[in-house]
Structure 1
Amino acid sequence: MKLVHVFDAYCGWSHGFSATLLEVVSRHPELPVEVVSGGLFTGQRRVPIREFGYVQGANAKIAELTGAEFGAAYERLIADGSFVMDSEAAARGVAALRQAAPARAAELAAAVQHAFYVDGLSLSETATYRKIAERHGLDADAVAAAFEAPKARAAAEADRVRAAELGVHAFPTLLAVDGDRAAVLARGHAGAVEVERALSLVTPA
């Protein structure tokens, strides 16, 4: 059995779930973790953030419920409403980091969200992934090259297909997958205790 975390780096609720995910992962080192980028802001939804009038209110609710931080640098980045959230670029970045350290996929996915929501860095910029790599002891040159390589674009598309195959259309969703069977452990907001309870129901005694 493994855990499958389907998220979007530009999803505030996914950011709010990061602490829960990392706690669950730390409690279960025996469970492999697969991280899948869902593709929330692609195609016609790849527009300036001002088009999503609910963002500020949603962020306030997420912070209240989860304790997640939305930093001053992030607020400055989105202040004039022109910033464009491009989930395909973010998925390429997640793929590049995942390639560098597969066993640390959950940690690095959380780091990508921290880079945006706390540090106010665009997830479309190579420099962002260079900084994340350096901060987490990875080869920054290799990660930057991977982000820009065609393989990362293919990985981003494969992630979207994987999310669809798993039947996931809301982010974040955490699944326990065992062969062809998948059980939802959490969707949206959930604490570690709730996830542990759900996991206990699908874990063999």
Structure 2
Amino acid sequence: MDEQLLYGYDPLCGWCFAFRPTMAAIRQAYPDLSVELIMGGLVVGERVAPIAQARDYLIKGLEQVRRTAGVSAGAAFYNGLLKQGSYISNSEPPCRAVYVAQQLAPERAYDFADALPEAYYGRGLPLDDADVMAGLAREYGIDADAFLAAWQSEQAKHGTQHAFQQARLAGFNSYPTLVYQHSKQRALVAQGFARPADAVARIAALRTG
């Protein structure tokens, strides 16, 4: 059967951080379904700014994430990036890292991408730092030198912008968004947060419907 899941995702999206257990449950329930990452760029253009400008918004939003999903950002995020305030919030560098992972190690790209929200919100790591990103690539078995060379290339920057454009043309404008695709037919699984059991059941219904 020609089936896959299309996952609209952004590394800086707090609700994508909350959605990680849901995606883990889906992948465990349906190991035969491949997942294609769709990155439209949540924090780009005029939204790019020092994280201090979004401090109150993030504190409120992450509290809502905690209450709704039971997933909490770590002290390293609150006491590091958020408190210090100078980190430039920009989705392009980590999305470019995912793009590069897809080119260099497609079999590991999903796991690498899934780790980025945890690295950011859980571990408080800056996702625009070359040493940090090389270390994360190494954790997932991607050659760090090759990764850095590609991540810093103009080709990767252009490729990431093209991925953003294609995502928007395909209608992925909010995150997380999960779509089930069978042949050329698409059906929405979740737009925004969904609990693991609900998302698994929704996919089951779509596969048997």
TM-score (norm 1): 0.92
- How many residue pairs get matched? 205
1:74 correspondence with 2:77: yes
CA RMSD of aligned residues (A): 1.7
Instruction: Identify which of 3, 8, 11 aligns with 1:9.
Output: 11
Contact kept? 2:65, 2:72, Cα under 8 Å? no
> Structure 1 residue 154: deviation in Å?
2.3
Contact kept? 2:62, 2:72, Cα under 8 Å? no
Q: In structure 1, what is the Cα distance between the partners aligned to 2:174 and 2:203?
A: 19
1:1-205 equivalence runs, <5 A: 1-52=3-54, 53-75=56-78, 76-204=80-208
SS in 1 for 2:38: strand
TM-score (norm 2): 0.90
Q: In structure 1, what is the Cα distance between the partners aligned to 2:101 and 2:10?
A: 15
> Structure 1 residue 162: deviation in Å?
2.5
Give the letter for the 2:154 counterpart: P
SS in 1 for 2:49: coil
Q: In structure 1, what is the Cα distance between the partners aligned to 2:64 and 2:119?
A: 20
1:67 to 1:193, Cα distance in 2 relative to 1, 3 A: same
1:104 to 1:27, Cα distance in 2 relative to 1, 3 A: farther
Give the letter for the 1:71 counterpart: G
- In structure 1, stretches of 5+ residues that fail to align are none
> Structure 1 residue 150: deviation in Å?
2.1
What percent identity do the matched residue pairs reach? 29
- In structure 2, stretches of 5+ residues that fail to align are none
Contact kept? 1:3, 1:32, Cα under 8 Å? yes
> 1:126-148, CA deviations, whole angstroms, 9 ceiling, x for partnerless residues?
21221112222221212222211
Give the letter for the 1:178 counterpart: H
Q: In structure 2, what is the Cα distance between the partners aligned to 1:162 and 1:22?
A: 26
SS in 1 for 2:88: coil
> Structure 1 residue 16: deviation in Å?
0.7
